[in-house]
Chain A
C-alpha cells in the first residue's frame, strides 16, 4: 500500500470534485466510501439550486457583453420615453409623473453593475 510521500502509482485517478471534498471533511470522504452518498434535504435543495444556477450560467455564456450594452440602451430608451411623456402632459397630473419617475429610477437602479 502506498503512503503519503511515496511515489504515486500509475492508477492514481481522481476527479477535481473528489479532491475538493478533502478540503471539506475527510471523515465525509470515508463515510461516503463505506455507506455511499447520503444527502439531507437541505443538501439536496442546495444541489438542485446549484444545478439550476449552472444551467443559467451556461445559457448566458454568450450574453455577457450583450447584457452590458442592453442595459445602457434600455436606460436611454426609458429616458427618451419619459421626456416625451413629460412634454405631452405639460405639468399636469404631477402624481403620475412622480410615480413614473420612481419607476424609471427603479429601472435605472436594477443595473447589475
Chain B
C-alpha cells in the first residue's frame, strides 16, 4: 500500500515538474536566447518608438536589451515554419533601430536578433542579422512613396512562396 502511494506520488510530482518546466522553459524561450542576450538586461518589451527627422519612423519593438558594453540590442520574434530570416526582417529591425536611437538617444548596435518560433513541436531558434544604414532605409521609403503615387512600377515578390498566401493572386496575374 505504502509502495503504491509512493509510486503514485512520484509520478504525480514528476508530471507536475514536467508541466511546470514546459510552461516556463520552452514557452518563455529563455534558454534559446543568443549568448549575448542571456547575460543582457531587458530594458523594453512591446514598446512603440518614433523618430522625428528627415524621415519619421514609428516602430513597435518586441524587446530591447542592454548588452555588456552598455549598448542596446534589438530582438524580434517571428512565427514561421522556416527557421530563417528574410529581407523584410532586416528592414523592419533597421527601422526599429533608427526609431529607438532617435527617441532614447542611446546607441544601438548594428546587429539584431530574430527569434523564429515554429508551429507546435518545432524548436525556437535565433538568427543574427546585420542592419541597414539610414540612407538605405530612406531610399526604400522614398521608393515606397513613389510606388504608391504610381510613378514607378512595382517589382514582383522576391519569393514565389509568398504568392501562395496572398489575397491578391487574381489581380496580380491579370495586371
| A binding-site residues for B, Cβ under 8 Å | 1-6, 8, 12-33, 35, 37-40, 42-43, 46, 49-50, 53-54, 56-68, 70-71, 74, 77-78, 81-82, 85, 88-89, 93, 96, 100, 103-104, 106-107, 110-113
Contact = CB atoms under 8 A, between A and B. Distances in A.
12 contacts: A13-B55, A16-B96, A16-B99, A18-B144, A23-B90, A24-B157, A31-B171, A40-B165, A56-B27, A57-B63, A78-B14, A85-B6
Contacts of A6: 142
A61 B64 CA distance: 11
Contact of B91 (A19, A31, A32): A19
A113 B32 CA distance: 6
A50 B7 CA distance: 41
A7 to B, nearest CB: 8
Interface in B17-45: 17-18, 20-22, 24-33, 38, 42, 45
Contact of B87 (A13, A23, A56, A106): A23
Contacts of A27: 154-157, 168, 172
Given A2-B145, A68-B31, A81-B14, 18 more contacts: A8-B142, A13-B55, A14-B57, A16-B58, A17-B59, A18-B144, A19-B91, A19-B141, A24-B158, A24-B162, A50-B79, A57-B63, A57-B117, A60-B29, A64-B30, A70-B24, A74-B20, A74-B21
B18 A107 contact: yes
A29 B156 CA distance: 11
A35 to B, nearest CB: 7
Given A3-B151, A16-B57, A28 B166 contact: yes
Nearest to A42: B165
B146 A3 contact: yes
B11 interface: yes
Contacts of A70: 20-21, 24-25
Contacts of A77: 13, 17
Residue in B28, B99, B162 whose Cβ sees the most chain A Cβ within 10 Å: B28
A102 to B, nearest CB: 11
B45 A58 contact: yes
Contact of B149 (A1, A49, A93): A1
A53 B77 contact: yes
